[in-house]
Amino acid sequence: MPEGRLLDYFSLGLINFVPARIKQLLEQNEAEAFFTEASVTIEDEQYPEPFFLIAPRDMLPV
């Protein structure tokens, strides 16, 4: 697996995932969203950073 950060965001169909640092940033900016922790595996190795499924309750500020 490559060293350093590999992903900042990814989606599977309509399901969106963000890393912990993006989750924290959204929470600091009071984004109304539900987060569920998910593990990410790349080429049979678990990605070292936790990811969260994000389900916005409203439009997210950009």
Over the stretch 29-51, which tens digit does the pLDDT of each residue have?
A: 888 889 999 888 878 888 778 89
Q: What is the pLDDT of residue 1?
A: 44
Q: Which residues contact 49 (CB under 8 A, 6 or more apart)?
A: 5, 19, 20, 21
d(C-alpha 51, C-alpha 7), whole Å: 10
55 pLDDT above the threshold of 70? yes
Percent of the chain with pLDDT over 70: 81
Helix (H, G, I), strand (E, B) or coil at 48: coil
Q: What is the pLDDT of residue 60?
A: 58
Helix (H, G, I), strand (E, B) or coil at 7: coil
Question: Is the overall model pTM greater than 0.85, yes or no?
Answer: no
Region 5-21 average pLDDT: 80
Asked whether 61 and 55 are in contact (CB, 8 A), the reply is no
